[in-house]
Amino acid sequence: MKLVYFARVREQLGCDEEILDKPSDVATLGQLVDWLARQRGEPWASVLTAPDLIMALNQEVAGPQAQLSEQDEVAFFPPVTGG
C-alpha cells in the first residue's frame, strides 16, 4: 500500500510518501495507525494519534474503521482551512 503524508505531518515525520506491505494483522485504517505508532515510536505515535489528524483512503476522507487492502493509498494530513 502507498502511504502519503501532507503539510505539517510530512514536516514532522520527515517523509512525504512510502510503500508499505500491509501487515497481516492490520485490517482497518485505525489498526494501521496503531501499528505505525507501535512499530516506529516517536514522533510517529504523537503525529498519527493527534486528535485533529485527517485520514483519507483512496483520496476520500475515511475513519478508523475503513477496511484496507494491499492496493490502497492512505493519506494523512492536518485540517485544511480556507482564507
**What would the mean pLDDT of 52-74 be, rounded to a whole number?**
97
Q: Which residue matches cell numbers 484496507?
A: 68
7-33 per-position pLDDT tens digit: 999 999 999 999 999 999 999 999 999
- Of the candidates 47, 68, 64, the one whose C-alpha atom is nearest the C-alpha of residue 55 is 64
With a cut of 90, say whether residue 4 has pLDDT above it. yes
**What is the DSSP-derived secondary structure letter of residue 51?**
T
- Domain residue ranges of the chain, discontinuous segments joined by +: 14-77
Cβ-contact 36, 44 below 8 angstroms:
yes
Q: What is the CATH number of domain 14-77?
A: 3.10.20
Q: Which residue matches cell numbers 503539510?
A: 7
**4, 9, 26, 73 from 70: Cα distances, Å:** 14, 23, 10, 9
0.85 exceeded by pTM? yes
Please give the mean pLDDT across all residues of the chain. Answer: 95
Q: Residue 80 has what pLDDT?
A: 78
